[in-house]
Amino acid sequence: MTSLRADRRTVLGVAGSALVGGLFTVATHGTTDESATSNAASATWPMARYDAAGTGHAPDMVGPAGDVAVRWKRAAYGHVADPPSPVLHDGRLYYSAADRFLVVDADDGTVRHEIANGTFYSPPCLLAETAYANETLAVADRTGLLGVNPTGGVDLFGSSYRWSNRWRYPDRERDAHAPPPRSRPTPPPVVADDTLVYAGQIDDEDAVVALDPSSAERRWRAGSYPDPRRPVVAEDAVFVVSGRGRVRALDLNDGSELWRTTIREPTVNAPAVANGRLYLTDRWNVYAFDTTTGARVWRRPTETPVGTPPVVAGRTLYVQTELSAGPLLALDAATGETLWTAPYGNRNSTPVVAGDTLYLPSHYDLYALDIATGAERWRFEAAGSVSTPVVADGRVYVAGGNVLYALEAQP
């Protein structure tokens, strides 16, 4: 009976969203047999960089440590210069970029659903615990956020159009008063403690909002955050870095400001929180701030520019510089001192850590490195620029140019 009530709510919510949100064309490929299972059916990788704290560290996930083979590859659509990261849930990969949203079987690469004619500006964020019968994916679009139903919505009267958005924030018609397309990347939303947090362009202002994941009802909004980066949520706080080097901590419950600080370099990357520290990179420095007070704990200059956020795994901080030959820096998270370096650079996608392996995108290549020494375990060359990867159940899922790959250990 619970499932029937949820399904009815879904239909009503979808219909309401359609009145204010417009229609997307949806094509369905293959079957939707819910009894189908895969090796990845038990794993969830809910958002880009894995967690709301932005650490990029998935300690319970296991990927291939030896040489890899392609289990499957799937052409996505037109070439994407900087492909976004997919997410994983219940044996399915979710991938959004440009005008398409794909739902792909993680075991064999079958496209289960494809939503076309959208404007998807960020990687998706999984909202598993909502009022609906199945998960919702939050994705940034040209006017704010969409709550996408990954099953493609419902068929009414045999129409070939399906309503695939459950809600929209702000709640308005899709193209009414829409700002022009954005020329800069859009930060993905994050979810933590039953709160969906987004930092980006809303109406005519860059702002931070906290929303109910089921309805997108706004809980609070904080404005004047120019050019914000991906927010992180940890320790009952939201940490936001914006242009001009502004760093702020907001209360997760009401959005009130807890502290603020400023760094000199305006080109700042998204932060990560672990060990009671906010770790942050700008173009020429790595920082650690106290999460309670905002006081700077240490600063470590770099000799080459940095264009990506840090990754934190336990007591080690990994920072990737922009040069093709690196260096990749492994730093002591307590002091900023160098533990080791390796010759792998990148300026778009970030690495992730799963188990004892660092999975590191470097332009058209994906590398697996030993986290303790930086020793290379394997290398895979993709068809284009490599996204931030997803690691689960002995596999790595990654986008390379216009191709999605599933990699696993060679038999």
**DSSP codes joined into one string, 191-208:** EETTEEEEEEEETTEEEE
How many C-beta atoms lie closer than 10 Å to residue 56's C-beta? Answer: 26
Q: Are 163 and 26 in contact (CB under 8 A)?
A: no
pLDDT computed for residue 177 by the predictor:
53
pLDDT computed for residue 79 by the predictor:
61
Q: Are 237 and 268 in contact (CB under 8 A)?
A: no
Task: Give the residue from 367, 389, 371, 370 showing the smallest Cα distance to 379.
Answer: 367
pLDDT mean for each 10 residues of the chain (411 residues): 31 36 38 39 90 97 94 82 91 91 95 86 92 92 89 56 78 56 71 94 88 96 90 97 91 97 89 97 96 97 94 97 91 98 92 97 95 97 95 96 95 88
Cα distances from 141 to residues 22, 165, 169, 185, in angstroms, run 13, 12, 10, 11
Segments of 302-389 assigned E as strands: 311-313, 316-320, 328-332, 338-342, 352-354, 357-362, 365-370, 376-381
pLDDT computed for residue 308 by the predictor:
93
Q: Are 139 and 101 in contact (CB under 8 A)?
A: yes
pLDDT computed for residue 23 by the predictor:
35
> 2-409 is classed in which CATH architecture?
8 Propeller (2.140)
Token code pair at residue 115: 């939503």
What is the DSSP pairing of strand 144-148 with strand 165-169? Answer: antiparallel
| Domain ranges, ordered by start, for the chain | 2-409
DSSP code of 17? H
Distance from C-alpha of 228 to C-alpha of 150, rounded to nearest angstrom: 27
Q: Are 117 and 25 in contact (CB under 8 A)?
A: yes
pLDDT computed for residue 1 by the predictor:
30
How many C-beta atoms lie closer than 10 Å to residue 356's C-beta? Answer: 14
Whether pTM exceeds 0.75: yes
Distance from C-alpha of 396 to C-alpha of 68, rounded to nearest angstrom: 9
